[in-house]
C-alpha cells in the first residue's frame, strides 16, 4: 500500500513539483536568512574572537565588546594585585584614520597589543612574522585592509608605508582576522606605539586582558576582579553572548530577519497545505476504492503521511543543499555574513516537519470523512 501511495504521488507530476518547490523555497528562505543573522552576530563578536583572552576587564558601565570606555593605565596594576591572576596586560582598541600614499583616507580599527607578550596577536599570519611588530613604526594589517586598499589603487605588501595621525606606519606582516561588524580593517601594533598614533588623553586604556593561575577558573577570576571598584571582569564566553544579546535587544536586525523567516513559514504552509489538499482531493476515488476493499483508516493515514513527508524530505534536502552551496561561495569573499551552525538546519527541519504534519492533517480530515460508496458514483 505504501508503494502505491508513492506511485500516486510521483505520477501527479504537476502537484508533486509544486509541493517540492514550495517546501524547497521555504527551507531555503528560512535557512539562508537565519544563517545570515548568525553571520552578523559573529561579526559583532569579531574583537573577542580575534583576541581570544580568557578574561576581559572593562569599565563597570561597559555592556558589550564593541563599547569602549577608556580607563587609567593604573588599572593594569590593580588587576595584577588580585589573588589568582597569573598575568594581566593592557589592550588598546580605537578607531583611527590611515592616510594613504595618494592622500586618501581609510578608517581603521587600531589594536595595540602588550609590547612584551603580544597577547591577543593575530592567530593566522599570511605574510611576515609577528615578532617584527616590535620593530620601529611596525604594524600588521588584516585581509580587509589589503582588500580596501586595493580598491583605492594601492597594493599592500611587506614594506608598504602609510600614515596614522601624521606618523609613519610600516607594514611588517599581513594576517587573517575575523571581519568586524563595522567592516573596518584591523591594524595591529604594540600598545606603546598605539599611544603614539592616537591623540593624547588622560585615559587611553581600552581593556585589561587577564588569565587565571593554576587551580582558578575563568569564572572565579572574573568574580574576584569584579570586586574592584569601577571595574567589571567578564569571561570570553560571557562577553561573546553579552555582545550578541545586546545587538539582538538594541538593533532592528532580529525583527528584519525574523519577519522574513515568518513569511517563509507562512508561504510554506500556504503552498504545501493547499497543494496537498488538492492532491488528496484529486485522488479521493482511489482512496475510496481502498476503503471499499477493506483498507482501514490507519493504513490510509500511513499512505497520506508518507506522501506528505516524502515531499517534505526532498524539499528540505534541496533547500538546505542550495543554502550550503550559497554559503560555500560567499565564505570565499567573507561577505555577505554567513554562518550556519547545526542548530539552523535542525530548526528548519522541525519547521518542515510541522508544515508536512499540518498538510497531512488537512488531507486526513478529508479522508476520514470519505464514504467508500463514492467509488460507485
The owner of cell 476493499 is 293
Please state the φ and ψ torsions of residue 252, each to the nearest 5 degrees: -90, 10
Whole-model pTM: value is 0.84
Collapsed DSSP state (helix, strand, coil) of residue 115? coil
Residue 106 belongs to what H/E stretch? strand 105-113
Say if residue 320 is exposed, middle or buried (CB neighbours under 10 Å; 0-12, 13-18, 19+): buried
Instruction: Please tell me the predicted confidence (pLDDT) of residue 275.
Output: 76
Collapsed DSSP state (helix, strand, coil) of residue 92? strand
Instruction: Please tell me the predicted confidence (pLDDT) of residue 57.
Output: 95
Q: Which residues contact 169 (CB under 8 A, 6 or more apart)?
A: 98, 137, 138, 139, 161, 162, 163, 187, 189, 197
Angle, in degrees to the nearest 10, between helices 284-292 and 253-282:
60
- Under a CB-based contact definition with an 8 Å cutoff, are residues 236 and 218 in contact? yes
Q: What is the pairing mode between strands 186-190 and 105-113?
A: parallel
Instruction: Please tell me the predicted confidence (pLDDT) of residue 291.
Output: 64
End-to-end CA distance of the chain: 24
Q: Which residues contact 171 (CB under 8 A, 6 or more apart)?
A: 128, 139, 140, 141, 156, 157, 158, 159, 160, 161
- Mind listing the pLDDT tens digit for each residue in 328-337? 887 777 777 8
Ranges of residues in the chain whose predicted pLDDT is under 50 = none
Instruction: Please tell me the predicted confidence (pLDDT) of residue 220.
Output: 93
Say if residue 216 is exposed, middle or buried (CB neighbours under 10 Å; 0-12, 13-18, 19+): middle
Instruction: Please tell me the predicted confidence (pLDDT) of residue 105.
Output: 85
Q: Where are the domains of the chain?
A: 2-44+252-376, 61-229
Q: Which residues contact 254 (CB under 8 A, 6 or more apart)?
A: 37, 248
Amino acid at each position: 500500500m505504501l508503494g502505491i501511495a508513492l506511485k500516486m504521488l510521483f505520477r501527479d507530476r504537476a502537484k508533486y513539483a509544486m509541493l517540492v518547490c514550495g517546501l524547497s523555497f521555504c527551507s531555503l528562505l528560512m535557512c539562508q536568512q537565519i544563517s545570515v543573522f548568525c553571520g552578523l552576530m559573529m561579526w559583532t563578536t569579531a574583537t573577542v574572537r580575534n583576541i581570544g583572552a580568557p578574561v576581559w576587564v572593562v569599565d563597570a558601565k561597559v555592556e558589550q565588546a564593541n563599547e569602549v570606555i577608556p580607563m587609567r593605565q593604573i588599572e593594569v596594576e590593580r588587576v595584577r594585585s588580585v589573588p589568582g591572576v597569573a598575568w594581566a596586560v593592557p589592550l588598546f582598541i580605537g578607531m583611527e584614520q590611515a592616510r594613504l600614499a595618494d592622500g586618501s583616507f581609510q578608517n581603521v580599527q587600531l589594536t595595540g597589543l602588550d609590547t612584551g607578550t603580544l597577547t591577543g596577536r593575530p592567530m593566522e599570519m599570511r605574510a611576515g612574522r609577528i615578532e617584527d611588530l616590535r620593530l620601529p613604526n611596525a604594524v600588521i594589517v588584516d585581509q580587509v585592509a589589503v582588500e580596501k586598499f586595493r580598491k583605492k589603487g594601492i597594493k599592500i605588501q611587506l614594506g608598504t608605508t602609510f600614515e596614522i595621525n601624521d606618523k609613519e606606519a610600516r607594514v611588517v606582516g599581513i594576517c587573517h582576522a575575523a571581519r568586524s561588524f563595522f567592516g573596518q580593517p584591523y591594524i595591529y601594533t604594540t600598545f606603546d606605539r598605539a599611544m603614539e598614533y592616537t591623540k593624547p588623553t588622560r585615559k587611553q586604556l581600552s581593556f585589561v586582558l587577564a588569565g587565571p593561575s593554576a587551580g582558578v577558573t575563568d569564572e572565579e577570576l572574573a568574580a574576584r576582579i569584579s570586586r574592584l571598584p569601577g571595574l567589571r571582569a567578564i569571561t570570553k564566553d560571557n562577553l561573546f553572548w553579552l555582545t550578541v544579546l545586546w545587538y539582538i535587544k538594541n538593533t532592528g536586525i532580529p525583527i528584519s530577519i525574523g519577519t522574513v523567516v515568518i513569511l517563509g513559514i507562512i508561504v510554506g504552509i500556504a503552498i504545501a497545505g493547499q497543494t496537498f489538499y488538492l492532491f488528496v482531493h484529486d485522488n479521493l476515488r482511489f482512496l475510496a476504492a481502498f476503503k471499499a476493499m477493506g483498507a482501514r483508516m490507519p493504513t490510509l493515514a500511513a499512505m497520506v503521511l508518507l506522501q506528505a513527508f516524502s515531499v517534505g524530505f526532498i524539499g528540505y534536502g534541496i533547500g538546505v543543499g542550495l543554502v550550503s552551496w550559497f554559503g560555500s561561495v560567499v565564505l570565499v569573499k567573507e561577505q555577505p555574513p554567513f554562518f550556519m551552525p547545526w542548530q539552523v538546519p535542525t530548526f528548519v527541519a522541525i519547521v518542515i516537519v510541522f508544515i508536512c504534519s499540518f498538510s497531512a492533517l488537512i488531507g486526513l480530515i478529508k479522508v476520514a470523512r470519505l464514504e467508500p460508496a463514492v467509488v460507485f458514483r
